[in-house]
Amino acid sequence: MKHVIQGVAKFQSDVFPKKKTTFKKLAHGQNPEVLFITCSDSRIDPNLVTQTEPGELFICRNAGNVIPPHSNQTGGMTASIEFAVAALGVTDVIICGHTDCGAMKGALHPDKLAGLPHVAEWLGHCRSAVEVLKHKHHHLSDDHLNELTCENVVQQIQHIKTHPAVAAKIASGELRLHGWMYDIESGAVTCWNSQTQMFEGIEQRYSDETVKP
Give the annotated binding-site residues for Zn(2+).
Answer: 39, 41, 98, 101
| Dist. CA 43–CA 57, nearest whole Å | 18
- Measured distance between the N- and C-terminal CA atoms of the chain, rounded to whole angstroms: 35
Question: Read out DSSP for 80-141?
Answer: HHHIIIIIS--SEEEEEEETT-HHHHHHH-GGGGTT-HHHHHHGGGGHHHHHHHHHHHSS--
Number of helices and strands in the chain (H, E): 11, 6
Residue ranges for the known binding site are 39, 41, 98, 101
